[in-house]
Amino acid sequence: MSTSDGTASSSGVITLDSLDLAALIASRVCHDVISPVGAIVNGLEILEDEKDEGMRGFAFDLIKKSAAQASARLQFCRIAFGAAGSAAAQLDLGDAEQVARGFIEDQKTSLTWEAKRQLLPKNMVKLLLNLVLVATTTIPRGGVIAVTAEGEGEATAFRIVTTGPHARVPTNVVDLLAGRAPEDRVDAHVIQPFYAGLIAKAAAMQVTIEAEIEGERIVTLARPIAA
C-alpha cells in the first residue's frame, strides 16, 4: 500500500522518502521550539507597551526563562535529530546527559542518569536521546526518568525506566518503533518514535518497551543486535 507520506511493504513496515523524512523532522523541531519563542515575543510586547515596573519585571523573567528553554531544546534537537558530524562520528554520553537535562527537567519531571562518560557511535547516542524523548510521553503527569547504561563501546546497552502516576505506553508507540504506522501513514505527530526506530536500525540495536504489570513503571531497553 502506498500513501502520500511513504510506502508500506507487505510486512507493513513504512519506508519514507528522504525529503518527506527531513520535512517531518523539521516540523517536529519547530514544534518543540515555537512555544518558548512565542513566549519571548509576548514578553517583548509587554516591555514595549507596559510602564508598570512589576509587569516589566514579569516580562523580563518570562523572556529569560523562555530563552533558556528555547536554547535547551535546540541543543537537544541538534544532537537527537541533527547530523552531529560525519557518519563515523562518535558522541560523548556526558554531552548527551547535559542536553537531556536541559530538555527534560522541569517542575513535573526529573532525570536520573547513571551512564558513565564514554564516546559511543553517533547513532547509539542519538537513539538514547530519542528514547528519552519517547519516555517522556509515558508519564503524562510527570515523574522520574532513570537512564542507565551497561557495557563498553558498541556493546553498550541502555535501560530507561519511567515512574509516575498513570504511566502508560502511548498508543502505536511500539508499532512506530518497529517501523509500522497507524493507517500506514506517518505525519509530524508520530514522526519522533518512528524516527527513533530508524535510528535503532541504523545503530544495529533492538528496542523493547513495556509496562510492568504492577506499579506505575515503564521499562525501555535498547540492546545491540547479536551479530
Q: What is the pLDDT along the chain (227 residues), one digit of tens a residue?
A: 334 456 655 456 788 889 999 999 999 999 989 999 999 999 999 898 878 888 889 999 999 999 999 999 999 999 999 875 555 689 999 999 999 999 987 778 999 999 999 999 999 999 999 999 999 999 989 999 999 999 999 999 999 999 999 899 998 999 999 998 877 788 888 999 999 999 999 999 999 998 876 668 999 999 999 75
Residue 8 in grid coordinates: 508500506
CB 205 within 8 A of CB 222: yes
Please list the alpha-helical segments (H only) found in the chain: 18-49, 53-80, 93-104, 122-136, 173-177, 191-202
| Residues making up the chain, counted from first to last | 227
pTM: 0.88
Task: Show the domains of the chain with their CATH numbers.
Answer: 7-29+88-224 (3.30.565.10)
3-class SS shares of the chain: helix, strand, coil, % to 5: 50, 20, 30
